[in-house]
Amino acid sequence: MPGLPDVHPRPGQPRALTVYEVGPRDGLQAEAAIVPVSVKLELIDRLGGAGLTVIEATSFVAPSWVPQLADAEQVMAGLRRRAGVRYPVLTPNRRGLDRAVAAGADEVAVFVSATETFASRNLNTTRDGAMAIAAPVIGAARERGLRVRGYVSMGFGDPWEGRVDPEQTASVAARLFALGCATVSLGDTIGVGTPGQVQVVLQTVAATGVPLSQVALHLHDTYGQALANVLAGLEAGVTEFDASTGGVGGCPFAKSATGNLATEDLVWMLDGLGIAHGLDLSALVRTSRWLAEHLGRPSPSRVVAALA
């Protein structure tokens, strides 16, 4: 069985970066079956043990919208916090924020769509309406001293509208940044992005005044482009990438959206580039195999399959 890949750094690449783990939230929200709280808690703990320093634990969305995450309070109550690990939660509205604060959350995330159709289907509002929902959440969270992340959904393509103008994505990112988001994560929610497009979108975002040091990429692998798009992001100066253990998950509100970029696949590429990330690949693979057993299907991750 092979060990680690040969190391061949590329000119201008960062020395280190942050992997933002979204599996417990974005991964499990797309599951047809409800995953028990005990499994979720063990997953989060295993991920912390594998070296992840940011693990998105759950979402305080209305249970009627995402019943898979109706147990957010129980997850937060049972969370075994590790020193040096952040556990952000998604708070789609003020009610969600109030629930999250009451449950002990100290870092939150909001999301706004780059397209009108997804805003309508996901939040039953417009893009501006979604921003109007997010703004007071950001303000109230910051007043409480909470760090806030802003997600831009459908930043590279929309299943109903098709092509998304980079200016649309950049506009939403700039507004979230201006409201006080510490990081803005650009989502390729349906995985249609390609490397050239990623760089154009990032250039357009940077032109609005949003530093790429405060931009993350949330990439889906629907068309097998996620790692190529990571490389494009690295070359542009991005140093934070979202990933999901074993590649589980997707967006339950986006037609044809498949799984996220697998954390293990990302780590294998980063190891080959010699970029520090602090993660234990063997521990991640064991965790994804364990999770796959609970989900009743093989892990979508190519690296997990290869090393298992």
Q: Which two tokens stand for residue 287?
A: 């965790």
- pLDDT over 80 at 1, yes or no: no
- Which position has the token pair 């992997």? 19
The pLDDT assigned to 250 comes to 58
Q: Is 181 left (phi over 0), alpha (psi -120 to 50) or beta?
A: beta
Q: Is residue 119 part of a domain?
A: yes
DSSP state of 220: B
**Domains: count for the chain:** 1
85, part of any domain: yes
Per residue in 97-151, pLDDT (tens digit) is 999 999 999 999 999 999 887 877 777 788 888 899 999 999 999 999 999 999 9
Does residue 282 belong to any structural domain of this protein?
Answer: yes
Provide the percentage of residues in the chain whose pLDDT is more than 90: 83
pLDDT in tens, 42-100: 999 999 999 999 999 999 999 988 899 999 999 999 999 999 999 999 999 999 999 99
DSSP states of 72-112: HHHHHHH--PPTT-B--EE--SHHHHHHHHHTT--EEEEEE
72 in any annotated domain:
yes
Confidence class for position 2, pLDDT limits 50, 70, 90: low
What amino acid positions are annotated as catalytic residues? Answer: 251
pLDDT value of residue 126: 87
Residue 272, pLDDT score: 98
Which of 96-110, 176-190, 245-259 is predicted with the least confidence, judged by mean pLDDT? Answer: 245-259
Mean of all residue pLDDT scores within the chain: 93
Residue linked to tokens 């990623």: 198
d(CA 227, CA 217): 11
Mean pLDDT of 161-175: 95
104 domain-assigned? yes
Q: What is the pLDDT of residue 120?
A: 78
Residue 255 has pLDDT above 90, yes or no: no
pLDDT at 189: 92
Kindly state the tokens that stand for 91. Answer: 């708070």
276: CATH: 3.20.20.70
pLDDT band at 258 (very low <50, low <70, confident <90, very high): low
159 band by pLDDT with thresholds 50, 70 and 90: confident
Residue 44 resides in a domain = yes
Identify whether 4 is part of a domain: no
- pLDDT for the residue 57: 98
Q: What is the pLDDT of residues 8-46, one digit of tens each?
A: 999 999 999 999 999 999 999 888 889 999 999 999 999
Backbone angles phi, psi at 93, to 5 degrees: -155, 180
The structure's pTM equals 0.95
Rounded distance between C-alpha atoms, residue 280 and residue 111, angstroms: 30
Average pLDDT over residues 270-278: 98
300 domain residue, yes or no: yes
Domain that holds residue 118: 18-307
159, amino acid identity: P
Q: Look up residue 18 and give its two tokens.
A: 């942050």
Residue 125 tokens read as 């509002």
- Report whether pLDDT(257) > 60: no
